[in-house]
Amino acid sequence: MTALSRYADRRVLITGGGSGIGQATVLRILGEGGHVVAADVSEPGLADTVGKAGALADRLDTVVLDVSDEESVQAGVAEATRLLGGAIDTLVNAAGILRSAHLEKTTVADFTEVLQINLVGTFLVIRESLPALRTGNKPAVVNFSSTSANFAHPYMSAYAASKGGVQAMTHALAMEFSKESIRFNSVQPGSIASGMTDGSGESKRSIGPGLPADADYSMFGKVAPMLPIDGGKAIFAQPDAVAAVVAMLGSADAYFVTGTEVRVDGGSHM
């Protein structure tokens, strides 16, 4: 845990809080003194987050929420807002899925599912959270784009499209709500170990995230991190690398940062 206390008295809703980067962000912000509601489609995932929070769980509540379902989002955000005392100071939209496949083998249902969860889900949570953000203290929204939004990641056309959409939407919302002083930014993770990359965060989802069996790995040379991870023994950095950046963007420290994205990829795309 960190010695920072930027989130003392801040009320925070984090989707995707049951695994991976979302879970790491829950733990990071709890460590900085925040009151957090972790939302996720997976009840076991949320229970795992509570367990890992340990003594800090007295400032952690959980809500089961499926970001792809409008009624679930409406009910879940309403409950989260109630648990937070009627206002949201920081919203983190970390919920998402990754699908990898050859384009010609990608069905409309597969493509649409990724867009519905990653892009439409982010939109729904923001829309339903707006009243609570408007009454929040120095409100901030942190969305999850990806390095795939700007750089070629083979076999990930649906994922890249969804994350490019999140990035563009973040810019539009930052402008739309600038005069209300609601900040909107996004992070672009790359080469990060998470429930999305290993499949552990994909409860109730039918297709795993792995690359096609005949994937051409020579095409991934441009997305390899330049910074050595674990002395050069690992391919992916841990989720806390992104959680630290999310915590900064969602705090008052980033009061003059809006409408942009921060890449967290170990120099993969320099």
What are the catalytic residues?
159
CA distance 37 to 13: 5
Q: Note the Cα 127 to chain centre separation in Å.
A: 16
Spell out the residues 6+ positions from residue 152 whose beta carbon is closer than 8 angstroms to its own.
219, 222
> Alpha-carbon torsion 153, 156, 158, 163, what sign?
negative
Q: Which of 1, 38, 5 is nearest to 20 (CA)?
A: 38
Q: Which of 213, 208, 227, 234 is nearest to 270 (CA)?
A: 227
Count of CB atoms situated within 10 Å of the CB of 215: 15
3-class SS letters over 10-69: CEEEEECCCCHHHHHHHHHHHHCCCEEEEEECCHHHHHHHHHHHHHHHHHEEEEECCCCC
CA distance 130 to 30: 23
Query: For residue 136, which amino acid is it?
Result: G
